[in-house]
Chain A
Amino acid sequence: SQQGEEDPQALSIQEGENATMNCSYKTSINNLQWYRQNSGRGLVHLILIRSNEREKHSGRLRVTLDTSKKSSSLLITASRAADTASYFCATDSDSNYQLIWGAGTKLIIKP
């Protein structure tokens, strides 16, 4: 079963705009990760945020985590065509190694 739910399921924006995707989860976590998947490169790790962190940046990516609401958001600024992909959040489980995944947000960047 999947723990996370991404929102929206699909998002289509113009190149240069910002894209925001959200992830909600059900149980307490130690950390949350975001991954990107496209047909050319498979699943690629983007960023990890620990449960005691509220915000993290990596290049054009900004991730926030609100443990009280059991939610996270991924912001991609100044989007590019190459950002077209599906984005997944994954949370660790009690076992501390098993990742539990959402269904993903499909992002399309229009040139």
Chain B
Amino acid sequence: GAGVSQSPRYKVAKRGQDVALRCDPISGHVSLFWYQQALGQGPEFLTYFQNEAQLDKSGLPSDRFFAERPEGSVSTLKIQRTQQEDSAVYLCASSLASAPGPNEQFFGPGTRLTVL
């Protein structure tokens, strides 16, 4: 595809429900990032993949959050037992380059998660 796509665009979950958010990066992009963005704030880093390897998951807020990229392309962010504080926009970005070096990140439209 031409850009990064994410699905679903909107997700409403009841507290305690598990959710899975999908990201399709730009074909051939080595790096993939997940961010969480609260209303009125900038994105907060969650995790980083280089191909299928998860090199950094230091931003995941709790062990309820899990991300994978098994074949080095599509990635899924899973949140178990959702809480109201998980409500946010979840952004996925991909980059052609791998570390080190400056990288322009290409963002998907995000998934807006609302936990009731």
Residues of A bordering B, CB below 8 Å:
2, 4, 30-31, 33, 35, 41-45, 48, 50, 88, 90, 92, 95-104
Contacts and interface: CB of A to CB of B under 8 A. Distances in A.
Contacts of A101: 42-44
Interface of B: 31, 33, 40-45, 48, 56, 91, 93, 95, 98-110
B107 A42 contact: yes
A10 B105 CA distance: 25
Given A30-B102, A97-B100, A97-B103, A42 B45 contact: no
Given A2-B44, A98-B33, 8 more contacts: A2-B42, A42-B109, A92-B102, A95-B56, A95-B99, A97-B31, A97-B48, A104-B40
Nearest to B107: A43
Nearest to A89: B42
Contacts, number: 62
A22 B33 CA distance: 26
Contacts of A33: 102, 104
Q: Is the interface of B mostly helix, strand, loop or mixed?
A: loop
Secondary structure class of chain A's binding surface, majority of residues: strand
B104 A4 contact: no
17 contacts: A30-B102, A42-B108, A43-B107, A45-B105, A48-B104, A50-B102, A95-B99, A96-B100, A97-B31, A98-B48, A100-B45, A101-B42, A101-B43, A101-B44, A102-B42, A104-B40, A104-B42
Given A96-B100, A98-B48, A4 B105 contact: no
A104 to B, nearest CB: 5
A88 B42 contact: yes
Max count, chain A CB within 10 A of own CB: residue among B42, B98, B103, B106 = B42
Contacts of A95: 56, 99
A45 B106 contact: yes
Contacts of B43: 43, 88, 99, 101
A100 B47 CA distance: 12
